[in-house]
Structure formats: C-alpha cells, structure tokens
Amino acid sequence: MDAGTTLTIMDIRPFVPELTLLCAGLILILLDLIVKRKEIVAAVGVAGTIAALYATYKLFGYAQPQYAFFDMFVLDGYSSFFKLIFYLNLILTICISVKFMEIEKASCGEYYSLLIFATSGMMIMASAADLIVLYLGLELMALSTYILAGLTRKRHRSNEAALKYFFLGAFSSGFLLYGISLTFGLTGTTNIRDIAHAIYALNVMDSPILYLGMIFIVVAFGFKIALAPFHMWAPDVYEGAPTSITAFMSVGPKAAGFAVLGRVLFDAFGGMQVQWTSVLIPMAVLTMALGSIIALSQTNIKRMLAYSSIAHAGYMLLGVIAGTPEGLTSTANYLMIYTFMNIGAFAIVIMLRREGFRGENIEDFKGLSKSHPLAAALMLIFMFSLTGIPPTAGFVGKFYVFMELINSGYTYLAVIAVVFSAISAFFYLRIVMYMYMKDPGEEIVITTSPSMSIALAITCVMVLILGVFPSFLLNLVRYSILG
C-alpha cells in the first residue's frame, strides 16, 4: 500500500451501494428524531435499500471485477449476488416488522437504521478482498445484530439472547482475529488474493501455523453460519430475539458467512483445499444431524426453526464442500431460495403474535386451517419448501446442491443429506398436521398489515415460481458467479 498513490473520487465507485445504504442509515437516525410515524421511517429505509439495489444493478454491468481502496474491496458478480440476497432480506424484514414492532412496543427508528447498518456490514463482508475489510464488515454486522437481538429491552428472553449472542460473538471474533494475525504473520499480507499467491510462493501449504490460522477463521465463520459445533448460540438467540430479528438473523449473517467462507476458502486458501474439505465434511454431517434431530423435540416454533436453520446451513455447506465454483453456485442458489421460504415461515409466526399472545408454541398452530385457511396454506407451502418437496423452491435448492456434490464424487455425503432431509420432514410436517388435522384450541386471531401481505405475497410467489421455473434464478447465479 503506497500512500503516494493518488486517490480519486472514481476510486470509490464500487463502494457506492454500501455508501448509499450507509447514508440511508444515517438519514434514518436523524429522521427518527423528527418524524413520529415509524411507518415513514420504514418506508425511507426501503427506499434507501432500493436505491442501493439500483446502484448494485448499474455497477454489475461491468464484466470485470472492480477494485477499490487499494484492492481491499471488490465488486464482482459473486458479491453482487450475495448483496441481492441481503437487500431482499432487508426489505422483507422491514415489511414483516412494521406492525410487529409496534405490538412488541419496541417500535423505534433505530431499529430500521440498525437493520440497515447490519446489512451494510454484510455487504462489506461479501465484497471484502482483504481480511481487514472483512473484519470490519463482520463487526459492523455483528454489533448491529447484537443490539437488534436485545431490542425488546423489557423482555427477559430478549435480554438473555442479546447477552449470549454478544458474548459468544465477541469470543468468536477473538478467534477470527487470531486466525487473521497468524495468516498475516505467515504470508505477510492480508489481501485475500495475495495470501493465495504467498501460500504458493512460500510453499507453506502444509504449515501447521497456517492451518491453525485457517481453522480459527473457519471457527468464526462457522459461528456466524451456525455450523456445529459452533451453532450452540443459535437456538437460544433465535428463540429470545424478537421474531422479525430472528428472521433477519437466520438469513443475513448466514448468507454473509457463506459469502466470506466461499471467498476465503476458495481464493485465499485454495491451495489447502484438501485440508479444509476434511474439516468441513464432519462439520456438515454434524450440523445436519444435530439440526434435524434436535428440532424433532422442540415445542417452540422459533426454536424449531432455529434448529431447522442449523440443518439448512449443513445442506448449504455441502455446496462448499463440493469444492468447485459450481458447488459454490448451488450454495448461493440455495441461500436465495432459503431467504424466501424462511422469512415466509417467520412471517406467519409473526402474524400469530398479537397483544398479550406470543403465538410461538407449535400448539398455537392447532386448527389454523379452519380459522385462517390462507395463512395455513401459506405456512403449508413454506413448510413443504423447507422440507424440500417438489414443486417448491426448496426442492430445487437441495437438488442442485446434492447434484453438485455427486458430481464432485461425494455420493455418500449426498445420501447422508437425503436421510437427514427425510428426518426433517417429520418436524416440518408436524406443523402442517397441527394446522390441518387438529381442532382449533382457543380462537386464533392473526395480525396483518399491508406490508406484511406484500412480504408474504413476495415470499410465497417466489417459493412457487422458483420451484417451477428454477432456471431463472440458476442462470442469474451462474452468470454472477461463474461469469
């Protein structure tokens, strides 16, 4: 890094989407001081997100990756696709939370700006071409989500969730930093591509120190993604956090974690593929096993969805294990599909929440089909999709991951994954059974709002459309990642 290099305003062009979003966040902070109606704040937030989305779209037209800040930041198809996931996650989360946060009595402008800051952090992570930037993005995301998890300050569970998330998150970023410092010490650089070159040039592929550094970095990403055995925080935090934040957290940080995991493992540690594959395979199997099995005995739906999200992280990891760019493509594809079906499922959970009624127990879904057939049908679609039943999108996501896995020669892993997928059908379909085959207990009242309907319409339509027309998304993700 030569300080003499002239910096120009053009140099920050790849950073414009993040800048847009950060500005939107700052504006929201100030706007919140003036405006009383939180819907307006939320609408401005959505507008900012759409502006950033537009910026990403405009910049994406360039075939070549564009670098900024002395090669520390890169805008390429890979990061752009993940940013699309983050935008969708953000918009959908805002849509499902307007009414919900009012009921939770935690409706404040900071909520939206924190969501935006967290999303900016994820975007910076996805675009990081340097471990320093990566760390900054990760912390921006993490610090914002710590607060979001504890936003309902009066609730004991929310407090505890934030506390746990914070302590364990800080613990994991300690690991990340230590891994970064070891990698830096051995390779002499923090730039992701230069690390790869240095590993070859210095021939340190088999160095235990470098291995240790890589392990520590994987620990930190594994924590964000909620891979076993670094998943322990997830059920507690997902259960305790406000439901809209649970939805946000179950998609955003996971996607960001996969974005950096893919970039770091493929680009920086590409020469150590044998090593990291042998680490990830047991992790993936353990993750799928713990996620699918423990979910069976849950009674709280948020907790069940947390374990389900752990299991899904295991399936997504399989695409990384495949070790090919196509494998990574299938993971990205899965993440996009997961965004829709998971937020959709959480949206239904949120609808059950009303003044004085949490609606978080699986029992609360009893007989939903009788009182609210549409909500029940939507939940049915999301549950089918999470299980992976055709023609929903979930099937397509799993199918491609498994296919890439088999193409890479890991047929046994695909078989294991299908077995756990079948086990997972039990707890997803249990919800369906409660909705359709049990008689309603007490009267169910659902809370809806226009924005919630929009979010549900988007998620449901996308789950079905991507299930029937998967090539649309697949072409997009292939074009983005494979070029």
Partner 1 sequence: MQYAPTVNAMIKYTLIPLLPFLAFIINILLGRNFIRDKAHWVAIPAVFGSFVLAVSAFIDVANGQVINIDVYSWIVSGDFNVSFGFLIDQLSAIMLLVVTSISTLIFIYSVGYMHGDPGYYRFFAYLSLFVFSMLILVMANNFLLLYFGWEAVGLCSYFLIGFWFHKKSAADAGKKAFIVNRFGDFGFGLGVILIFLTLGSLDYMEVFNRAGGIAGQTINILGTDFDLITVICLLLFCGAVGKSAQLPLHVWLPDAMEGPTPVSALIHAATMVTAGVFMVARTSPLFNLSATAMNTVAVVGGLTAIFAATIALVQNDIKRVIAYSTVSQLGYMFLALGVGAYSAGIFHLYTHAYFKALLFLGSGSVIHALGDEQDMRNMGGLKKFMPQTYKVFIIATLSITGIPFLAGFFSKDEILWRVYQQGDLGKFLWFLGTAAALLTAFYSWRLIYMTFHGKFRGTDEQEHHLHESPPVITVPLWFLAVGAVAAGWVGIPPILMEHGDRIGEFLAPVLGHAQGHGSHAEEYFVIAASIFVAVAGWLIAHRMYIKKPEIPAQLGAKYQPIHKLLYNKYWIDELYSKVFVQPTLKLADKVILGFDTIVIEGIVNGIPALIDSFSQGLRRIQTGLISNYGLVMTLGALCMLIGYMVFSG
Partner 2 sequence: MVPLSWYIMLSAVMFSIGVFGFLARRNLIIMFISLELMLNSVNVSLVAFSHYLQSMNGQILVFFVITVAAAEAAIGLAILIAYYKNNPTIKVDEINLLKG
Partner 3 sequence: MPGTYIPWDYVPVMIVFAFAVMIGLGALVGGLLVRPRRPYAQKLAPYESGNPPVGEPRYKFSVKFYIVAMLFVVFDVEAVFMYPWAVAFDKLGMFGFIEMMLFIFILLVGYIYVWKKGAFVWE
Positions that interact with partner 3 (CB under 8 A): 3-4, 6-9, 26, 29-30, 33
Structure tokens that stand for 324 in this block: 């090919």
Instruction: Count CB-CB contacts under 10 A for residue 33.
Output: 7
- The size of the interface with partner 2 (CB under 8 A), counted in residues, is 43
Smallest distance from the beta carbon of 85 to partner 1, in angstroms? 22
Q: Tell me the C-alpha distance between 55 and 22, whole Å.
A: 13
CB closer to partner 2 out of 137 and 467: 137
Single-letter amino acid, residue 16: V
Q: Is 361 in the site for partner 2 (CB under 8 A)?
A: no
Single-letter amino acid, residue 456: L
Q: Give the x/- contact pattern for partner 2 in 94-133, rule: CB under 8 A.
A: -------------------------------------xx-
Q: Which does 240 bind (CB under 5 to 8 A by kind): partner 2, partner 1, partner 3, none?
A: partner 2
Q: Is 399 in the site for partner 2 (CB under 8 A)?
A: no
Could you say which of 110, 239, 326, 404 contacts partner 2 (CB under 8 A)? 239
Q: Which does 356 bind (CB under 5 to 8 A by kind): partner 3, partner 1, partner 2, none?
A: none
CB-side exposure of 352: number of CA atoms within 13 Å?
Answer: 27
Q: Tell me the C-alpha distance between 165 and 173, whole Å.
A: 12
What backbone torsions phi and psi does residue 366 show, to the nearest 5 degrees? Answer: -55, 125
Q: Is 71 in the site for partner 2 (CB under 8 A)?
A: no
Q: Which class for 10: exposed (0-12), middle (13-18), buried (19 or more C-beta within 10 A)?
A: exposed
Q: Which does 407 bind (CB under 5 to 8 A by kind): partner 2, partner 3, partner 1, none?
A: partner 1
CB closer to partner 3 out of 31 and 215: 31
Q: Which does 29 bind (CB under 5 to 8 A by kind): partner 1, partner 2, partner 3, none?
A: partner 3
The full DSSP string for 286-313 is HHHHHHHHHHTT--BHHHHHHHHHHHHH
What residues numbered 301-320 form the site for partner 2, per CB under 8 A?
303
Q: Is 135 in the site for partner 2 (CB under 8 A)?
A: yes
Distances (CA, A) of 370 to 162, 184, 373, 438, 456: 37, 60, 6, 9, 20
Q: Tell me the C-alpha distance between 147 and 33, whole Å.
A: 19
Q: Is 136 in the site for partner 2 (CB under 8 A)?
A: yes
- Angle, helix 243-263 to helix 233-240, in steps of 10 degrees: 150
Residues in CB range of 434: below 8 A, 6 or more apart: 362, 363, 365, 366, 367, 368
Smallest distance from the beta carbon of 127 to partner 1, in angstroms? 27
Q: Which does 146 bind (CB under 5 to 8 A by kind): partner 1, partner 2, partner 3, none?
A: partner 2
* Residues that bind partner 2 in the complex, under the rule CB under 8 A: 1, 131-132, 135-136, 139, 143, 146-147, 150, 153-157, 159-164, 166-167, 170-171, 174, 177-178, 180-182, 184-185, 188-190, 235-237, 239-240, 298, 303
